[in-house]
Every structure is written in C-alpha cells, then in structure tokens.
Structure 1
C-alpha cells in the first residue's frame, strides 16, 4: 500500500520520510491541498528505475534492429528465388 503524506510533513518529518524511503525502498507520495503533488524516493531506487528504463529502451532498439534484419533476410530470399527462377527459365 503506498505511503501518502501531506506536504507539511516534508518540513516537519523530513528525516522520518527519508529513513522510510531508504529502509523500505519504497516511494512516499506527497499531497498538496489533498491532491497528489510529488513523489519522494531514495536515490538508489531512483537510479535503479532509471537503469531499467535505459535497459528497456536498449531492448526495444535491439528488437527493432532484429526485425529489420529479419525483414531484409526475407526480402533477400524472395529476390534470390526470383533470380534463380529467371536463370532456370533460360
């Protein structure tokens, strides 16, 4: 269950929020006037999330590259088959 705290707790309980974020490896959602405003998390968790995002971006780029290679191979096979067919007809 997410931890939700009012923005005033950043001023009054910053050390407690910091300790929670580090010990639980969970973010704390901060509200302002009863509405979600920001998220506080440990640097370690933030860096892990950024690393995951970068890894997913690299995976997507690799998958796209592999698909283009497979498309090229398919096209090359069709062209080769067409050339072989024309050579056999002569």
Structure 2
C-alpha cells in the first residue's frame, strides 16, 4: 500500500503518477496524518469500475435465482460473459 502526505502530490506529481501507472495500485494521500484522498491511474480506475459493475450484475442474477426466477440458458450466459470479458 502506497501512502504519501498530501503535499507529495504538489511536490512530486510525476513521481506519483508514474508509481500509479507502473504498479496499477492506488496511492493514498494523507492530510495531517489522516486519510484524505486516493489517487490512481485512469486505466486501473476504469478496470475497477467495470469489475464493480460486473459484480453488481452477478449479484442481481444470484438474487433472482435465489428468489426462484428463471435464469438464462448456458448459451445465453456464454454469449453475455464473452461480451463482458471483451469490454475489460
């Protein structure tokens, strides 16, 4: 976990940006010793958002299944997952 004081973003923007891009991990910025902001590479952010969207969709499907609602065929599921994977 990369933790830096908030002043580091002003003083070392390029270093922090490079770190985010190289590691794919966020950098946590603190202010007065307390967590304040998180900075991350835009590609890592987009991947994270897509993963969260997929998890929400899978949770909704699982909730439907638990409620007894009919699902889809394996072919429909395969086609759907191929589309989701292609987006990532």
TM-score range, shorter-chain basis?
Answer: 0.7 to 0.9
Partner of 2:16: 17
Alignment-derived partner of residue 5 in structure 1: 4
More helix by share: 1
Question: How many residues were matched structurally?
Answer: 70
Write the deviation string for residues 40-65 of structure 1: whole angstroms up to 9, x where unpaired. 00011111111111001100111122
Change (3 A) 1:44 1:71: closer
Q: Which runs of 5+ in 2 are unaligned?
A: 71-88
Structure 1: gaps of 5 or more residues: 73-90
Over the aligned positions, Cα root-mean-square deviation in angstroms equals 1.5
The superposition leaves residues 57-89 of structure 1 with CA deviations (integer Å, 9 ceiling, x where unpaired) of 100111122222x378xxxxxxxxxxxxxxxxx
TM-score (norm 1): 0.72
Q: Runs in 1 of length 4+ with deviation above 6 angstroms?
A: none
